[in-house]
Amino acid sequence: MEDQYQKILEANQENVRYNTMLARAFIPLIPKQERDHAHRWMAKLSKIEGTPFDLKNKADYLWYFVMNAAHSQEMMPPFHAPPPTGDLPLLSSILPKEIYADVIDSSDRKSWWLEEPLVEGLNDEELQEDDLAFDFIPSEFARNQPSPKCNGSYVYACVFAPRRD
């Protein structure tokens, strides 16, 4: 029983970490006038810890935030206003059932790019030799990448040098 609880807790923690990274990546895409609310929501959500149930609710809010930022021109409720004081209610009690089911359940399904081929109608015989050139083992990846003739020191210096304004 304790082992099962620990597995659920770890899975929810990993889900929260992933959704938090996604949410932070989408904040710059939110309209400027709504970013203050987004930062307040992220601060509120970052303070939630505890049971797997609490983390599941936090992950639901984060996932809905990501879907909202990715697919909408403006933030939808509840993110259009500052977060409430005190504990957050369940997201399922705030959103209409259809929206909750569509958005939250979509996180449990496979993504379309994993289910559908990108190029339909081609089989292995129709692929050219160049198309098959990417069947390298991961350890050979770096060997097939272009590298600068100056051993990369100039590129490194350009990338990490202080910016001149």
Q: What is the mean pLDDT of the chain?
A: 78
Going residue by residue through the chain, which has 165 residues, state the pLDDT in tens, using 9 for 90 and above. Answer: 678 888 888 888 888 898 899 999 989 888 888 899 999 999 999 998 888 888 888 988 999 998 888 887 788 888 888 999 888 899 889 888 888 888 776 655 544 444 444 455 555 555 555 444 555 566 676 777 777 676 677 777 777 878 776
- Predicted pLDDT of residue 5: 83
Contacts of 80 (CB under 8 A, 6+ apart): 34, 37, 74
* Measured distance CA(126)–CA(63) in Å, rounded: 40
Residues 6+ apart with CB under 8 A from 111: none
User: In which residue are the tokens 């899975």 written?
Assistant: 11
- What pTM, to 2 d.p., does this model score? 0.62
